[in-house]
Structure 1
Amino acid sequence: MKYDSQYYMLKESGRAASYMLDQVEGSDEGLGRLMAIHPIHRRVLGPGRVGISEGNRAKFQPCDYHETAEQLVSEKFRKVLAPFNLPGIDFYQTDIVNDDKTWSDYYFMHIWNHHKAIHKKRSEIKGTYVGNRFTLLKLSLHEKVLDQVPLEERLVFTLEEKPVFLFHESVVAALRAADLSGLGFRRVDSWSIGSAFEDDDDDFYDDL
């Protein structure tokens, strides 16, 4: 279970959680494939475009991280990740539009670096692993799988079985040090499907 204490899930926090953002008319059609576990750069021909579908428009100021159906990050966020030279991660420039205001220094983050890393006996699911027809209730990562992957190739990755994005503690430490807004992290061994509704707590960072 050693990796369960080394990896974190990224989640919305603070002001970002008060809004729901979605792609709107004018967003490149190729960005509808952001959940794919393969590169999509040949299908994306232009920028993304995001609008506010829920929340007080008059008070909106973008954070460094917003969850849409995907992950929307600021230039500041992107620069924190750049020195890690992460494989299988692409950024697509995206405008956040709110009435007559536009913020252009944002990106959809497409994580297509993937590993089939769920430990089936220790994890808890609702459904069946056959055909990946399940809801993940509690996650544990498989040591034998991740031991075969060099650390630099699994600093950030998505589970092949489910669109769950995982960040190594070293990347989390860098993101936290940058004082970014709108994001929190839940360590894998502290995560369950119900924890998404719990408040963020600095205890999740105690081991960093």
Structure 2
Amino acid sequence: MMKYDSQYYLLTEDADSAPYMLAKNRKSDDGLLRLLALRSIQREVLGPGYVHITMGDDGRFNPCDYHEVLPAGLVSEKFKQVLDLFQLPGVDFYPAYIENREKTWDKHYLVHIWQNYRALDPKRSVYDGTYENDAFELRQMVLNEDVLDNIPLQERLVFRLHEKPHYLYHESVVSALKLAGLTGVGFLSLQDWGPGAAFASEDEEDDFYDDL
């Protein structure tokens, strides 16, 4: 077992948030089209985001602390406050409104994780395609110990894989999130992740941005 693979988790939706599919709509600030950027976009975002329900609108919706809105999630003020305690580099939050059936909820945030590392182990990870130019479909993630050994923990508590848009949370951050009693969020160990896990593919991300 590689030492870092047991330390990192990915966020998932739980039984409270999963029945609803949420997405940004055209009212969102144009700068929020760049949430996949591997750099800060603070100077490009001039207004809030707007999120609506695209599937599962049964009239009983009430926001959870976490919803899997592409690319890196929509979180509540409570969720954000936990992450703020860690003073995470390369993680920004942009205010967003959730709208549904003439109701509006504020104090939610679209997450932009631009702290990124080319941190997959190309020899131990399982993928179809070519690693060198990132033209591959990932089947199993194994982290590169040589890379992460040289990065201070504070700088890799939460980060995005440079090769593919997967967002990894260190076990210390996950422990704090669990203690906060948040709704809507689950935690999947990197070791248990696979193509059948509930994560959006790159094609789904492309479709999402095309719909804006």
Q: TM-score, length-normalised on structure 1?
A: 0.92
Question: Hey, what's the Cα distance between the residues in 1 that align with 2:12 and 2:188?
Answer: 7
For structure 2, which runs of at least 5 residues remain unmatched after alignment? 200-212
> Which residue is 2:103 aligned to?
101
- Partners of 1:92 and 1:107 within 8 A in 2: yes
The equivalences for 1:75-114 within 5 A come to 75-114=77-116
> Which residue is 2:161 aligned to?
159
**Distance apart, 1:196 and its partner CA:** 2.9
Question: Hey, what's the Cα distance between the residues in 1 that align with 2:14 and 2:140?
Answer: 21
> Which residue is 1:16 aligned to?
17
Q: Which amino acid aligns with 2:3?
A: K
**Distance apart, 1:130 and its partner CA:** 2.9
**Distance apart, 1:77 and its partner CA:** 0.2
Equivalent residue pairs, number: 197
- Partners of 2:59 and 2:101 within 8 A in 1: no
**Distance apart, 1:168 and its partner CA:** 0.3
Larger deviation: 89-98 or 50-59?
A: 50-59
| SS of equivalent residue, structure 1 residue 134 | strand
CA offsets 1:22-68 (integer angstroms, 9 cap, x no match): 11131101111111111111111000001111002401111111112
For structure 1, which runs of at least 5 residues remain unmatched after alignment? 198-208
Seq. identity, %: 53
Q: Which of 151, 156, 159 matches 1:149? A: 151
CA offsets 1:100-158 (integer angstroms, 9 cap, x no match): 11111100010000011000111111221132111111000000000000001100000
CA offsets 1:7-35 (integer angstroms, 9 cap, x no match): 00111111211111111131101111111
- Partners of 1:75 and 1:107 within 8 A in 2: yes
The equivalences for 1:116-127 within 5 A come to 116-127=118-129
- Partners of 1:126 and 1:134 within 8 A in 2: yes
Question: Hey, what's the Cα distance between the residues in 1 that align with 2:21 and 2:187?
Answer: 19
Q: Which amino acid aligns with 1:5?
A: S
Q: TM-score, length-normalised on structure 2?
A: 0.90
Question: Hey, what's the Cα distance between the residues in 1 that align with 2:19 and 2:65?
Answer: 14
Question: Hey, what's the Cα distance between the residues in 2 that align with 1:39 and 1:187?
Answer: 27
> Which residue is 2:183 aligned to?
181
- Partners of 1:57 and 1:98 within 8 A in 2: no
| SS of equivalent residue, structure 2 residue 17 | helix
Q: Residue 193 in 1 paired to residue 195 in 2? A: yes
Q: Which amino acid aligns with 1:129?
A: Y
CA RMSD of aligned residues (A): 1.1
**Distance apart, 1:185 and its partner CA:** 0.9
Q: Which amino acid aligns with 1:195?
A: A
